[in-house]
Chain A
């Protein structure tokens, strides 16, 4: 449970460091560039509006190539590495969270990230790597035999549709949750929001781990 604000503690709880927020912002910008250029390349109704096919292709290719860079650069940040670790690992209550989400129940336990965020993070990371790989096969046509390129464009086209839907879902969730947006925008959140949405999250866990070098091994 987040501790009540005691003297010396800020009224808002620290959630994301500047490095994490900039990695998120840069990734979001590149992702939206990919999605928007893809829509204008792919949907005839939009393609008619802008044309300029070569320019759109070049912007799309480079935005896609750069998509993993913000997170890779962000790995230099210990906070970002720790949060990736949290996103990776499922606790028992995460399975309960998914079951509760399916039943539309609102009594859901969660750590710093809920199970939905964990599933989204893993899926979108894998999908982005597949889009990057298939995109490179189509970009550099000399790399592979024709059947690979046919397969790559098949995967790229259909997965693009899925990525579009999933990213729209991510934005939709954020649009309904001002408390979460505040965390990503400013780096800190309202303690009441944290208690309601992430009851298992201890915002000062990392500081304590840094103060006591053997805290992590003791927790195993």
Chain B
């Protein structure tokens, strides 16, 4: 018999499988420490990398692009409507929003999947100002947000919506919000996980109860305070 019979010889294949399992378990155990160490190196390198290739590595410290629908078309005539349980429903063009008092706040952005972008400036109209202008009726307890991607939706309680660190953002990182980041107008809820900060904002509706958002239907927390929800312990962002 010329071929090596399967029952003799060193079982290298089995050792490779067991070795990978051992390395994987060790990596999971040491992951939090390793991620911090590797992440700081990679993000330092990727900030100075003109090719941008290191930005494609894990933990390189940038924003990631999430969209829940297919290609999102940029609107030719952007409008933001405010309706529901209000005295004066309104419809704002982008120029109308730009003419209102602008507020700039700088906080970390924390995604529920783990990535965090430090010190990101957002600028725009306080959501509270738009609510006051519309005249919230007494039965309203919550605010529902809809988006021109046609699918995404979010919500806040009225108390959360009136916070100073909740903006209808027109600028992000000191530039107009780009299409990929949810421009021309997105929500920014500084103290919560970033899925609350709906992109491509097109509608604000006052409702009598909190209606769950898109990801919340898949089990994410509706009250999504950073570090106090979704089973995570990240440092608070605001």
List CB contacts (< 8 Å) of A141-195 with chain B.
141-142, 146-148, 150-155, 157-159, 161
A44 close to B (CB within 8 Å): yes
Interface residue range, chain A: 35 or more
A85 close to B (CB within 8 Å): yes
B13 and A118 within 8 A (CB): yes
Stretch in A7-15, A16-24, A28-36, A130-138 touching the partner: A130-138
B112, closest chain A residue (CB): A141
B100 close to A (CB within 8 Å): no
For the complex, give the distance between the alpha carbons of A106 and B231 in Å. Answer: 55
B12 and A90 within 8 A (CB): yes
B32 close to A (CB within 8 Å): yes
B1 and A205 within 8 A (CB): yes
B50 close to A (CB within 8 Å): no
A89-B21 contact in complex given A44-B65, A49-B71, C-beta closer than 8 Å: no
A99 close to B (CB within 8 Å): no
B10 close to A (CB within 8 Å): yes
A119 close to B (CB within 8 Å): yes
Which of these, A88, A130, A150, A152, contacts B13 with CB under 8 Å? A88
B23 and A130 within 8 A (CB): yes
A43 and B12 within 8 A (CB): no
The A contact surface, by secondary structure, is helix
For the complex, give the distance between the alpha carbons of A43 and B68 in Å. Answer: 15
Stretch in B55-63, B78-86, B120-128, B161-169 touching the partner: B55-63
A220 and B24 within 8 A (CB): no
A5 close to B (CB within 8 Å): no
B48 close to A (CB within 8 Å): no
A126 and B1 within 8 A (CB): no
Interface residue range, chain B: 35 or more
| Nearest chain A CB to B19 CB, angstrom units | 7
B27 and A151 within 8 A (CB): yes
Chain A residues, CB < 8 A from B18: 126
Chain A residues, CB < 8 A from B219: 141
Q: Scan B4-40; emit 1 where CB is below 8 A from any A CB, else 0.
A: 1111111111111111110110011111101100100
B77 close to A (CB within 8 Å): no
Can you list 5 contacts pairing A with B, beta carbon distance less than 8 Å? Answer: A44-B63, A88-B6, A111-B3, A130-B24, A155-B31
A residues adjacent to B (C-beta < 8 A): 1, 43-44, 47-54, 82, 84-91, 94, 111-112, 118-119, 121-123, 125-127, 129-130, 133-134, 137, 141-142, 146-148, 150-155, 157-159, 161, 200-202, 205, 208, 215-216, 219-220
- Extra inter-chain contacts (19) besides given A122-B12, A130-B20, CB under 8 Å: A44-B65, A51-B68, A51-B71, A52-B70, A88-B6, A88-B11, A118-B13, A134-B28, A147-B31, A147-B32, A154-B59, A155-B28, A157-B59, A159-B24, A159-B27, A202-B1, A202-B2, A208-B1, A219-B8
B residues adjacent to A (C-beta < 8 A): 1-21, 23-24, 27-32, 34-35, 38, 56-59, 62-72, 113-114, 149, 180, 218-219, 230-233
